[in-house]
Amino acid sequence: MRPRLFLAQAATATIVCIMLSCLATSKAFSTKSSRIVPGFAFVRRSHKAQQRHAIFRLSSGSTDQADEANKHQKAYHIQGTSASPAESTKQAEGRKRRQRSCGPGVHMTTNTHHTIATDVPKAMGGTNLAPQPVETLLAAWIGCTQATALFVGRQLGLTILKMDFNIHANRDERGALELPIEVTPTVPSRLQEIHGTIHVYTSSSDSVAEEQFHILQEQTEARCPVANMIIQSGCHMNVEWVVAPEEV
């Protein structure tokens, strides 16, 4: 009996020692953690506070910049509706009528009381009664380029009498037509290149220096909203500007 009692007491003592050891280790770890965590948390809080402060300064600056930008905002508004509304067509006598989708043509009205229309060729499902949307984009770029060039020219002391544009553009049709329709095309649908010539006619009394004409081209492309958007899209603008110093 005594050997068994001794073994039981020894086992109990061993278990108690293990429990006490674990408890001591836990307390030591807890003590060490209590020394590390607050400092670490303080650093994180301090870092977050700096971030919040930086964000506040940035937001304050951004707000001021936004307020300043809002003072110079120019707004545009266009309303559009399908040029060919859906209509019912009789497929055959005795069959039910079914609706046909509208055509690709669009009639638009601007907030400056002008009308614009777009369409596509018959081969593309349209009626060819108005320019294609991409053609109106190029037309918008030409109009914007001339209006901006006149402003830049006045600042440079140049009198622009006339501008002639001969412009070509190309795009990869796979960007719009590639299938399956659920998968984004492997090539962009935007225009890839605009090329051609712009002849600028100035007054015969104006002596146009090469550097002056370079500024006219550079600042016109930078300040024209339509040109700026086209260039930022990644389209290559390879247009040659030619000065023609003669009266028209």
Q: How far is it, in rounded angstroms, from Cα 213 to Cα 198? A: 12
Phi, psi of 151 (to 5 degrees): -65, -50
Give 26's Cβ-side CA count (13 Å radius). 6
For residue 68, the model assigns a pLDDT of 80
- Give the model's pLDDT for residue 95: 46
Instruction: Provide mean pLDDT across the span 92-112.
Output: 77
- What's the pLDDT at 83? 85
Q: Estimate the crossing angle of helix 210-223 against helix 225-232, to 10 degrees.
A: 80
Note if the pTM is more than 0.85. Answer: no
Helix (H) or strand (E) holding 197: strand 193-202
As a CATH number, domain 132-244 is 3.30.300.20
Name the average pLDDT for the chain: 77
Task: List pLDDT tens digits, range 192-224.
Answer: 999 999 999 988 666 788 899 999 999 999 999
User: Given this model, what pLDDT does residue 209 score?
Assistant: 85
Q: Does 163 have pLDDT greater than 80? A: yes
List, in order, residues 6 or more apart from 59 with CB less than 8 Å away: none
Mean pLDDT along residues 17-25: 49
Domain boundaries of the chain, sorted by first residue: 132-244
Residues 213, 83: Cα–Cα separation, whole Å: 43
